[in-house]
Structure 1
Amino acid sequence: MNQVKNLLGKGVLVYLRVLRIYFYDLSRFYRHSNVKQLFVSEDAFKGRITILYHVIEKGLTMPETRLGFGIPVVNDLMDLLIVYSKEGKDVNILEFKHSAAVLEEYFSFHQERGFDLPKDLIDKYLDYRKVVKSEIPARQLKFTRDQYFKSKNEPFEQFALSRYSCRNYSQEEIPNDILEKCVKLAMKSPTSCNRQLNRIYVVKNKETRDEVLKLQYGNRGFGHLASTLFILTANISYFQGVNDRNESYINTGMFAMSLLNALHHYEIGACPLNWSVDHKRDQALRELLGIPDNERIGLVISCGFLPDHFEIASSPRLEVNNIAKFFN
């Protein structure tokens, strides 16, 4: 082994170890994710169905919902539910039932407002209902600002259940001292070996916010209303071995949830925005904000004070017994 080390050098051997362990992750992701869009498992259907229905329910809660929005997504969701149903899969799962209910809400929403959707979409909807059992329309959640924050100082169970992602903000600027208090609370989140590797970029300048939002997928229709954006990163120079490869994401996730709770406590609405982008967008954000190469970008959070009245996507959660396995 020493001869191999001498021949290749320590740097090459470490690189090979890193490559091998990343290939371990890569091969599992390729085998079991639905990246090939083949829908070979029920879970693959669940993931895609959830993405599609969530796009629609978000659209229904936009500050100014555009009538006739999301027709390609509605088409795709109907197609997927028909295929899922015809393959004899479980139509009693939450994802399927809520998707059907959201579709019913979509068509009812437009009918109630006297908006004529395209005839081919209506015809397809009528055919879809012959296959998929009609569901009672879903209803997105309506709040006043006071209702939404009424549990901000209650015991943790009430507090945690009262927080939702908000996509409607007022134009009032958030003072820096409140933002600093929120970041200080987030810093109490657990961190790997107390290495405190998280970094946060607070963007309030409108022109810079707009540039960040152009690079992030998924803020259309509401991102421009946010008065502040947080970009969360983690300094990977703190890590000492290949087994630390995913610690940045773990630490950033914990930090983000602590920050979201802090924002809720200080009566600020917020919505986490994924950073699932290609290398070109990642590099563009680095250049825009001066993020060094040794920091890994985790996610973006939009936030702002809330208006007097707003709506929130219902986004129902699974039951505990759907996700938890106990070893007593």
Structure 2
Amino acid sequence: MNRLKTLLGKNALVYMRVLRIYFYDLTRFYKQSNVKQLFRNQDAYKGRLTILYHVIEKGLTMPQTRLGFGGPVVMDLMDLLAQFKRLGYDVNCMEFKHSSNVLAEYFTFHAERNFELPSELAERYKQFQHMVTAGNATQQLRFTRTEYFRHKDASFDQFSLSRYSCRNYSDTPIPREVIQKCIRLAMKSPTSCNRQLNRIYVVSDPAIKEEVLKLQYGNRGFGHLATTLFILTANISYFQGVNDRNESYINTGMFAMSLLNALHHNEIGACPLNWSVDHKRDAALRKLLSIPDNERIGLVISAGYLPESFDIASSPRLEVDHIAKFFA
């Protein structure tokens, strides 16, 4: 210990506390997540099923859906569903049923457009239907702009239930004063000990916007249509101890939801985009937008005014009883 103190200097104990608590997080994530793709339990399968069916949902609702899209994803989803059933997992769960229904919609979508899918894919779907009883085809959601925003001034429950992530935008720019109004509303979101650490970078310049989109995973097919991108960060210099290590993400998350609601209230469509990237992309975005080292990037939000009509992924939610545990 004395040698370690000599190597690390007077802050040795702080270093040790930081390493110990981050190792605690790291160990849990490594053991309990599906990062190793070992699919050790039903939840790991459910997570992967959701990722795959959502890729297909997004493809079906793109501004210009490319016929024949997502063949490898469709194949993977069918294989995973068959394996899920073979293992005796709950085939009545939302993830299994919705995955099956999205697959049915995918093949119905192409049949209605007289598009011939690869024979290998079509044959695999026949086998899938034999192994796993597929449900009815889902129907992704279609709105007019007026319908989508009809509850923007309604009661809180109607307002909350009416907001969806939008991936189709018109080319009408959002005025700066409207953006400022939305940010001002978002600033009312809770912050840790009122330490107002949220920061936001607003990108409307086409060239810079294109570079940001290149760094973010998950905006293909629609990101270029957004007239504005919001990059949300948190200033970690406000934090005082190692137990604050995750507070930046918590504060950014609350701020992001408040901003999404503010955008919806002002009749602007938006879609939160993850910032699950490696260190190289993180560094590249920092350099591009001159984000200082004491700010942690949380996520990106694409936004824009909506066209006259558009499609939205159905993306069902679990029931309350599936996620809530009561101690009374």
TM-score in same-fold range (> 0.5)? yes
Per-residue deviation, 1:153:
0.3
Output aligned runs, 1:240-255, within 5 Å.
Answer: 240-255=240-255
Stretch moving more, 315-324 or 3-12:
3-12
Structure 1, gaps ≥5 residues long: none
What amino acid maps onto 1:229 in structure 2?
L
Per-residue deviation, 1:3:
11
Per-residue deviation, 1:16:
1.4
Per-residue deviation, 1:6:
7.7
Partner of 1:94: 94
What is the alpha-carbon distance in structure 2 between the residues aligned to residue 64 and residue 88 of structure 1? 39
What amino acid maps onto 2:16 in structure 1?
L
CA-to-partner distance for each residue in 1:212-258, whole Å, 9 max, x for gaps?
00000000000000000000000000000000000000000000000
The question of 1:230 aligning with 2:230 is answered yes
Per-residue deviation, 1:9:
3.2
SS for the counterpart of 2:143 is strand
What is the alpha-carbon distance in structure 2 between the residues aligned to residue 291 and residue 33 of structure 1? 30
Structure 2, gaps ≥5 residues long: none
Per-residue deviation, 1:87:
1.0
Per-residue deviation, 1:11:
1.5
Partner of 1:51: 51
What is the alpha-carbon distance in structure 2 between the residues aligned to residue 135 and residue 221 of structure 1? 28
Partner of 1:122: 122
Per-residue deviation, 1:2:
9.9
SS for the counterpart of 2:174 is coil
Partner of 2:325: 325
Output aligned runs, 1:79-158, within 5 Å.
Answer: 79-158=79-158
Stretch moving more, 1-10 or 98-107:
1-10
Output aligned runs, 1:1-328, within 5 Å.
Answer: 9-328=9-328
CA contact (8 A) 2:4 2:12 kept: no
What is the alpha-carbon distance in structure 2 between the residues aligned to residue 37 and residue 176 of structure 1? 44
What is the alpha-carbon distance in structure 2 between the residues aligned to residue 48 and residue 278 of structure 1? 20
What amino acid maps onto 1:64 in structure 2?
Q
CA-to-partner distance for each residue in 1:157-192, whole Å, 9 max, x for gaps?
000000000000000000000000000000000000
What is the alpha-carbon distance in structure 2 between the residues aligned to residue 269 and residue 5 of structure 1? 54
SS for the counterpart of 2:89 is coil
CA-to-partner distance for each residue in 1:132-153, whole Å, 9 max, x for gaps?
1021001000000000000000
CA contact (8 A) 2:53 2:102 kept: yes
Percent identity for Structure 1 against Structure 2: 72
SS for the counterpart of 1:92 is coil
What amino acid maps onto 1:113 in structure 2?
R
SS for the counterpart of 1:9 is helix
What is the alpha-carbon distance in structure 2 between the residues aligned to residue 307 and residue 210 of structure 1? 21
Per-residue deviation, 1:325:
0.5
What is the alpha-carbon distance in structure 2 between the residues aligned to residue 192 and residue 102 of structure 1? 40
| Runs of 4+ with deviation above 4 angstroms | 1-8
Pair 1:219–1:4, CA change in 2 (3 A): closer
TM-score for the superposition, normalised by structure 2: 0.98
What amino acid maps onto 1:156 in structure 2?
F
What is the alpha-carbon distance in structure 2 between the residues aligned to residue 302 and residue 27 of structure 1? 33
CA contact (8 A) 2:170 2:305 kept: yes
Pair 1:8–1:114, CA change in 2 (3 A): closer
CA contact (8 A) 2:78 2:125 kept: yes
Matched length: 328
Per-residue deviation, 1:86:
0.9
RMSD: 1.3
SS for the counterpart of 2:254 is helix
What is the alpha-carbon distance in structure 1 between the residues aligned to residue 264 and residue 6 of structure 2? 56
Per-residue deviation, 1:12:
2.1
What is the alpha-carbon distance in structure 1 between the residues aligned to residue 163 and residue 140 of structure 2? 15
SS for the counterpart of 2:234 is strand
